[in-house]
Structure 1
Amino acid sequence: MSHPVWDPGQYLRHAGHRARPFADLLARIPALPTAAPRIADLGCGPGNVTVLLTERWPTAHVIGYDNSPEMLDKALTDHEGPTPGGGRLDFSPADARTWTPEQPYDLIVSNATLQWVPGHADRFADWIAGLKPGGALAFQVPDNIDAPLHALMRDLAGTPRWKGRLADVLRRTDSVHTPSTYLDRLARLGCAADVWQTTYQHVLQGEDPVLDWVKGTGLRPALTALADDPEARDAFLTEYRDLLRQAYPSAPYGTVMPFRRLFAVAVKEG
């Protein structure tokens, strides 16, 4: 699967809902080894949640890494520079598939990114080796590849009309492991690991809000693959939209989209 082209504006349309799991993840991270910690955010996107790290650890030097030029441009423009608590926020290009800490970190975090990184569990050893004793690796990923928004997308992409262009571009069903797999991997690398799941009941507003949501994330590979054929792209979106309307009916107060996420916090032995 090639890298999708990301749209920061579309992604940020649901920024509040998307930021909540990161805040929940940060709440479970214990005290870091140093008073002015060094923190890496892998897959920082437009930087809007990376800022939360500087609020939790005001004196930290936080470096956000991403492989999307569009996302990095947005992050650099909106967020780079000194922070109010005396720390600093920087952004740099990097790919989580190959990134290795260049110096010890107190904390390496990743928010809704590792599901896009094949073999990401094999990277844990390098990342944990790059932590200071008592430092932490913390991440959260969507854990809903079996949910209707993904299942319907895959089913549609596999139909005769679309499979030639889309069957191999979407996220694989094994892109996220089970909680027990992550716990075992992290514990065997010498960490005290805490792994859990949460299902959010997001109440979305507006017309076709589930489609609007997924256009910022899971649908990006399909949109990228069809970018050179606007007519086909619009036809695919119309078919998918109609399926989503049946799977996620609207109510007077909005459209409910259940969304399960998986969290892990692994603290390196001191």
Structure 2
Amino acid sequence: MKWDPLKYVQFGDYRDRPFFDLTGRIRPDRPRQVVDLGCGPGNLTATLARRWPEARVLGLDSSAEMLERAAGQADASPGLAFAQADIAQWMPSGETDVVVTNAALQWVPGHQEMLSRWLAALRAGAWFGMQVPGNFNAPSHTLMRELAATARWRPLLKGVLRGGESVGEPADYLRTMLDAGCTADAWETTYQQVLPGTDPVLEWVRGTALRPVLAVLSPQEGAAFEAEYAAALRIAYPATAHGTVFPFRRIFAVAQKQLSA
């Protein structure tokens, strides 16, 4: 599945805000190595390098398109680097002090088990912060899945879209972190995003949730699917004089590994 970095950052203020709400709760003392799992176009990873200029900051992503855009960020920060990698195969080293993963783990089946392994491997004192979207049961996603399951689209899209099982609840991540010997905090926030323009919710999901659908359909099929989907979105998210209100629930969890008893 290819990613479009320009489409992804189209709603930059709204997509960036959860990252800063997350990282504001991570408070290490002069970290040596900081890793951003699923770094995307790298603009947010670069803020970690500016926050901790003495650290080695590494952004990992599986998308060559995203990393091509991220490469320019490294030129301005000597300690910042990017690499292509499957985050499911990554493990922290003994020098990893901070791990951040922002809106990435929902794409990785079984990530809750991976989280347990990552936390077990972290050294005492290290931090782990994660954020995932919690809107898989919102109309933006249920309408997409319902349309994909209709007679016209089912033969082409069977098994392409995942549902609420893609992420856990805040309590699930909190329990995993506590079980790993961490002090932890988990919470959720629903941002009431006011999106401008025509069919703005469709434009939003084109950058993320709709990409698996468009990846398997031809351009003509994709346009036909989008037309049906957009009509349903207009009913679920009506335009107002102020724009279209798009509630977006996000799930956060932050952990610090503690010394063994």
Aligned with residue 207 of structure 1, among 198, 206, 213: 198
Q: Which residue is 2:246 aligned to? A: 257
- Which moved further from structure 2: 21-30 or 123-132? 123-132
Task: Calculate the TM-score normalised by the size of structure 2.
Answer: 0.95
1:10 aligns to what SS in structure 2?
A: helix
Q: Which residue is 2:231 aligned to? A: 242
Aligned with residue 68 of structure 1, among 63, 67, 85: 63
Comparing both structures, which one devotes a greater share of its residues to helix?
2
Q: What is the CA deviation profile of residues 181-223 of structure 1, one whole-angstrom value per residue up to 9, with x for unaligned ones? A: 1111111111111000000001111111110000000001001
Number of aligned residues: 259
Q: Which residue is 2:257 aligned to? A: 268
Deviation at 1:171, TM superposition (A): 2.5
Deviation at 1:102, TM superposition (A): 4.0
Say if 2:127 is the partner of 1:136. yes
Q: What is the CA deviation profile of residues 132-190 of structure 1, one whole-angstrom value per residue up to 9, with x for unaligned ones? A: 32111101000010100000000000000001111311123201111111111111111
Q: What is the CA deviation profile of residues 59-115 of structure 1, one whole-angstrom value per residue up to 9, with x for unaligned ones? A: 221100000111111111x201352xxx51100011121111244211011000000
Q: Would you say the 8 A contact 2:32–2:95 is kept in 1? A: no
- Which moved further from structure 2: 146-155 or 168-177? 168-177
Task: Supply the distance in 1 between the matched residues of 2:236 and 2:131 (Cα, whole angstroms).
Answer: 25
Say if 2:80 is the partner of 1:80. no
Q: Which residue is 1:20 aligned to? A: 17
Task: Supply the distance in 2 between the matched residues of 1:223 and 1:65 (Cα, whole angstroms).
Answer: 24
1:171 aligns to what SS in structure 2?
A: coil
Q: Would you say the 8 A contact 1:105–1:130 is kept in 2? A: no
Q: 1:259 to 1:162 in 2, by over 3 A?
A: same
- Which moved further from structure 2: 121-130 or 195-204? 121-130
Q: Percent sequence identity over matched residues? A: 49
Equivalent positions of 1:27-38 (< 5 A) are 27-30=24-27, 32-33=28-29, 35-38=30-33
> What's the Cα RMSD here?
1.3
Q: Which residue is 2:219 aligned to? A: 230
Gaps of 5+ in 2: none
Task: Supply the distance in 1 between the matched residues of 2:139 and 2:196 (Cα, whole angstroms).
Answer: 18
Say if 2:169 is the partner of 1:178. yes
| Runs of 4+ displaced beyond 3 Å | none
Q: Would you say the 8 A contact 1:6–1:71 is kept in 2? A: yes
Q: Would you say the 8 A contact 2:46–2:74 is kept in 1? A: no
- Which moved further from structure 2: 235-244 or 95-104? 95-104
Q: 1:9 to 1:39 in 2, by over 3 A?
A: same
Say if 2:193 is the partner of 1:198. no
Deviation at 1:36, TM superposition (A): 4.6
2:11 aligns to what SS in structure 1?
A: helix
Amino acid at match of 2:139: P
Q: Would you say the 8 A contact 2:93–2:122 is kept in 1? A: no
Q: Would you say the 8 A contact 1:116–1:171 is kept in 2? A: no
Q: Which residue is 1:154 aligned to? A: 145
1:155 aligns to what SS in structure 2?
A: helix
Task: Supply the distance in 2 between the matched residues of 1:104 and 1:210 (Cα, whole angstroms).
Answer: 41
Q: Would you say the 8 A contact 2:34–2:96 is kept in 1? A: yes
Q: Would you say the 8 A contact 2:31–2:97 is kept in 1? A: no
Say if 2:113 is the partner of 1:113. no
Q: Which residue is 1:7 aligned to? A: 4
